[in-house]
Amino acid sequence: MGPILEVKNLRKTYLGRGSKESKVVTAVNGVNFSLTEGICFGLLGPNGAGKTTTVEMMEGILAPTAGEILFRGEPIGKHYREKIGIQFQETSLQDYIRVREVLELFASFYPKRANIDELVRLCDLKDLLGRDVHQLSGGQRQRVLLALALVNDPELVFLDEPTTGLDPQARRNFWELVRQIRARHCTVVLTTHYMDEAHELCDEIGIMDEGKLIERGTPDDLLERHSCATLEDLFLTLTGRKLRG
């Protein structure tokens, strides 16, 4: 099976702010990789490594400064957004809107729609349908946001730090949802700071630091290659122990 997404020489620079002299900041510096269809790919890295910028370019939210992104061999274009699902790290929804209404609202944006009842079952939202989205707990909210990312029955889903701030029960419940998504042959791109989460869910991981992809492989291969017992050891070995942003 060919790659669903290819990232070639991806680069993103910004004009830095705050200093007297304007300075070009390189957030992503020549990143290359491809994703095999159906896998869960984890993108790891310390704060400020360029993960979110890379993922936002892959999502089509940010325009790259240089390089290209190919979806099924073609540059991402007008209909790309219809085929992907996104759960942002930080997002908000309209005020005074209920869970069922927000699901129907987002479903209406897409030509291809998942069955809402099935999504409700998958994400365990049955008891929340009449609730205002702003009255949900952290775990409930993440399940709603995941359902929104799946509302168009996407071929590729981006989950940007989806379990940050959740309690252990809610995190494990979320992992189970991700496994169920994968069982639907959907490709998943996951960014996380939790190494156990990456080990648990990802078929492949890529580690970024200072805007570059510095290592890539299956979790077990990487542990063996670097003679580390855990992904956390591997992460610290590759990115150092210095405090980041």
Partner 1 sequence: MVRFWAILRARNLEFLRDTEALSWNFLFPFIVVVGFGFLFTGGSQDLFKAGVIRSGAPKATQFLETKYIQFVDFVVEDDALAKLKRHQLDILINPSSRSYWISDSSPKGYLAEKVLLSTETDWKKSTIQGTDIRYVDWLIAGLLGMNMMFSALFGVGYNIIRYRKNGVLKRLKATPLTAFEFLSAQVVSRLILMLGTAFIVYFGSHLLIHFQMVGSYFNLFVTLTLGAVCLTSLGLLVAARTASEELGGGVLNLISWPMMFMSGVWFSLEGAHPWVKKLALIFPLTHFIEAARAIMTEGATLAQVSPNLFALMIMSAVFLALGSLLFKWD
Contacts with partner 1, residue ranges (CB under 8 A): 59-61, 79, 81-82, 86, 88, 90-97, 101-102, 104-106, 108-111, 148
How near is the Cβ of 81 to partner 1 at its closest, in Å?
Answer: 5
Q: Measured from the CB atom, is 2 or 96 closer to partner 1?
A: 96
Q: State the minimum distance, in angstroms, from the CB of residue 48 to partner 1.
A: 19
Scanning 164-210, the segments in alpha helix (DSSP H) are 168-183, 195-201
Shortest approach of partner 1 to residue 110 CB, angstroms? 6
Given the complex with partner 1, which of 55 and 238 has the nearer CB atom?
55
Would you say 1 or 63 has its CB closer to partner 1? 63
Is the CB of 116 or the CB of 236 nearer to partner 1? 116
Pick 102 or 222: Cβ nearer partner 1: 102
Nearest distance, CB of residue 149 and partner 1, angstroms: 9
Q: Provide the CA 65 distance to its chain's centre, in angstroms.
A: 21
Closest contact distance (angstroms) between CB of 134 and partner 1 is: 11
Tell me the longest C-alpha to C-alpha distance in the chain.
55
d(CA 57, CA 63): 6
The residues near 176 (Cβ < 8 Å, ≥ 6 apart) are: none
Q: In whole angstroms, how close is the CB of 139 to partner 1 at the nearest point?
A: 19
Q: State which residue, 148 or 205, has the beta carbon closest to partner 1.
A: 148
Six-digit token string for 112? 């291809």
d(CA 21, CA 17): 9
Give the type of residue at 28: V
Say which residue the tokens 């399940």 belong to: 143
At residue 181, what are phi and psi to the nearest 5 degrees? -65, -45
Exposure b/e, 8-38, CB count within 10 A at least 16 = b? eebbbeeeeeeeeeeeeeebbbebebebeee
Pairing state between β 204-209 and 40-44 = parallel
